[in-house]
Chain A
Amino acid sequence: MDRSFVVIKEIGDCGIIYANGYLNGLGAERLEEECEQLLREGIKKIVVNFKKTELINSIGISVLIGIIEKVRSAGGHLGFCNLEKVHAETFEMLGFTKYVPIFPSEEEALISMEKRPPYRGRASRKEGSDG
């Protein structure tokens, strides 16, 4: 049974992906597909909102790693927001936080994407994909 449902919104030059439901099955792949689609459309700033995420297991993690890699190699910028504590801790444990900035709210993520010079994580420098 698939209980993930992805919603996409575009604000300015930024795409927001809502990772709703359960990121614990192959259904979570839609996240990655939507992200690819946004990148293809030339939208290089992507925020993933976890406000309505119920559960993330290793399958979900592998999909999120896929997203990080795709945005990285497209030279884009990625941010996560509205993470529950348990998920934030998982991301910290896995080292995500060193590569993706985490914002308490969508507004803050958008402000950062818009105003600040684009995020330059260690990863994107290492891959040389950040310009």
Chain B
Amino acid sequence: MDRDDLSKKRLLFNLAALIDLGEEITSDKDFKGVIKSSLYLIMGTLSASRGAILEYEGGRLQFLASKGLEGEERAIDLLPEELTFLRSHNQPFLFESSSLFLEGRQKWEALLPVLVAPMIVKKEFIGLITIGKRFTGEAYTQEDMDILSVMAKHIGTGIYNHNLLLSLSQKVEENRRLYTELQLVYYDTIQALAAAIDAKDDYTKGHSRRVARYCVALAEELGLSREEIEAIRIAGFLHDVGKIAIDRSIINKPSKPTKEERMELNQHPLISYEILSKVRFPWKEIPLSVRYHHERVDGKGYPDRLTGDKIPLLAKIMAVADAFDAMTTDRPYRKRLSIDEVFREFEREMGKQFDPRVAEVLLRRLKKELAGEVKERRLLMDEGMEEGPSLRRLYLRRIN
């Protein structure tokens, strides 16, 4: 594998770990098991041979989980200045470079930490994640620290939430709010990864984010359930993940692709499916709806040439959202379409490329947004909300 392949592979590996962690933390498995799995996920991601998750309680750090320790788990008493130091660090740091532990470092011996990630939720110090050396002996990179930071936030929120649930006196409302926050962390992670996918493609920056947004708008218009809307949001973010396996020079080619290149490009829904079907999503529909996002209702799409009745609704929505974004962004070999052309294109392709019902919903929503009849614009985004073109600016000017 060359370096580009390695970095793609690394990205996918980290992506899978982050998604697994998100699912792990939001699962209703027993708490001990969740924390242990989370630790193993981090250690596997960082290739660490030693690590622990410790919870802060009554002046000391108690072990929640550990792996590969030198000796046994023994609670660690914190000095007041150590506590102050940890409280003020909500990002991972190198143990060696923190002068704080020079005194009394004996108590850290079983952990032999290289990286330390304090977990802080709502300004409360929850505990620590410590990570020992990498099994290859190689130094950790900034990317490793970033991943550890996201994972520590997940786990910290999970522990905090668990403790809240334990104390029955807490109001139900607060728990619900925290659960929502946890979900937001999960989405943040997926969005960050979608941005990483889009970054590989010079001409479609922000594509995955926008498609996710359009998918949700259409799903809402179609009156789908909350579950289905969540599923299509994630599917939208990740639908082009398979492009990661396709040669960058083909994706970024500033002219129309050749027949061979087209064939390779057309592999991406299958590759996306292969990748996503290995991830345990809470929503089962995601892999298949991604696989079929380039199918056409007339059966002339790819990769499976399914006809209308065989294509799942979520995939039909994604096809419309994807095409809408393609039409409304500049591509290397053509300019974006005018709003009239967008309407004409969708009208012409109803029942051919697109499911008529979904295409109609798009056009209906588009008309409403153009006429200013909606509270929040989803298809014609508000300025400054997203990177990439602001459709509102591009198209509304024409109307007003």
| 8 Å CB interface, B45-83 against A | 45, 47-49, 67-68
Contact check, A25 vs B41: say whether CB atoms are below 8 A apart. no
Contact check, A58 vs B1: say whether CB atoms are below 8 A apart. no
Contact check, B47 vs A61: say whether CB atoms are below 8 A apart. yes
Contact check, B9 vs A89: say whether CB atoms are below 8 A apart. yes
Across the interface, which residues of A come within 8 angstroms of B40, CB to CB? 26, 58-59, 62-63
Q: A93 on the interface (CB 8 Å rule)?
A: yes
Across the interface, which residues of B come within 8 angstroms of A69, CB to CB? 49, 68, 135
Across the interface, which residues of B come within 8 angstroms of A55, CB to CB? 278
A57 to B279, CA, bound (A): 9
In-complex Cβ contact of A62 among B13, B44, B278, B280 (8 A): B44
| 8 Å CB interface, A48-66 against B | 55, 57-63, 65-66
Q: B254 on the interface (CB 8 Å rule)?
A: no
Contact check, A93 vs B10: say whether CB atoms are below 8 A apart. yes
Q: A69-B49, A93-B9 are in contact. Are A25 and B37 (CB under 8 A)?
A: yes
Query: Which of A62, A66, A90 has most B Cβ within 10 Å?
Result: A62
Q: A58-B41, A93-B6 are in contact. Are A66 and B47 (CB under 8 A)?
A: no
A66 to B135, CA, bound (A): 9
Q: B148 on the interface (CB 8 Å rule)?
A: no
A89 to B8, CA, bound (A): 11
Contact check, A57 vs B1: say whether CB atoms are below 8 A apart. no
Query: Which of A55, A60, A61, A99 has most B Cβ within 10 Å?
Result: A61
Q: B260 on the interface (CB 8 Å rule)?
A: no
Contact check, A58 vs B137: say whether CB atoms are below 8 A apart. no
Q: A116 on the interface (CB 8 Å rule)?
A: no
Q: A58-B41, A92-B1, A93-B10 are in contact. Are A65 and B48 (CB under 8 A)?
A: yes
Q: A98 on the interface (CB 8 Å rule)?
A: yes
Closest CB of chain A to B25's CB: distance in Å? 14
Per-residue 0/1 for A10-37: is the Cβ within 8 Å of any B Cβ (1 yes, 0 no)?
0000000000000011100000000000
Across the interface, which residues of A come within 8 angstroms of B360, CB to CB? none
A59 to B47, CA, bound (A): 10
Contact check, A65 vs B44: say whether CB atoms are below 8 A apart. yes
Across the interface, which residues of B come within 8 angstroms of A58, CB to CB? 13, 16-17, 20, 40-45
Contact check, B20 vs A68: say whether CB atoms are below 8 A apart. no
Contact check, B136 vs A61: say whether CB atoms are below 8 A apart. no
A98 to B137, CA, bound (A): 12
Contact check, B48 vs A57: say whether CB atoms are below 8 A apart. no
| 8 Å CB interface, A71-123 against B | 89-90, 92-95, 98-99, 123
Across the interface, which residues of A come within 8 angstroms of B37, CB to CB? 25-26, 59
Contact check, A68 vs B135: say whether CB atoms are below 8 A apart. yes
Across the interface, which residues of A come within 8 angstroms of B1, CB to CB? 89, 92-93
Closest CB of chain A to B246's CB: distance in Å? 16
| 8 Å CB interface, B96-142 against A | 135-138
Contact check, B41 vs A59: say whether CB atoms are below 8 A apart. yes
Contact check, A94 vs B20: say whether CB atoms are below 8 A apart. no
Per-residue 0/1 for B1-27: is the Cβ within 8 Å of any A Cβ (1 yes, 0 no)?
100011001100100110010000000
User: Which residues from chain A sit less than 8 Å from chain B, CB to CB?
Assistant: 24-26, 55, 57-63, 65-66, 68-69, 89-90, 92-95, 98-99, 123, 126
24 A-B pairs with C-beta separation under 8 A: A26-B36, A26-B37, A57-B20, A58-B17, A58-B20, A58-B40, A58-B42, A58-B43, A58-B44, A58-B45, A59-B41, A61-B44, A61-B45, A62-B44, A62-B67, A65-B44, A65-B47, A65-B49, A66-B68, A68-B49, A92-B1, A95-B136, A98-B136, A99-B136
Q: Nearest 7 A-B pairs (CB), nearest first?
A: A58-B44, A61-B44, A62-B44, A62-B43, A58-B17, A59-B40, A62-B40
User: Which residues from chain B sit less than 8 Å from chain A, CB to CB?
Assistant: 1, 5-6, 9-10, 13, 16-17, 20, 33, 36-37, 40-45, 47-49, 67-68, 135-138, 278, 280
Q: A58-B13, A58-B16, A62-B48 are in contact. List 12 more A-B contacts (CB 8 A).
A: A26-B36, A58-B17, A58-B40, A59-B20, A59-B40, A59-B44, A65-B49, A65-B135, A66-B49, A68-B49, A69-B49, A94-B47
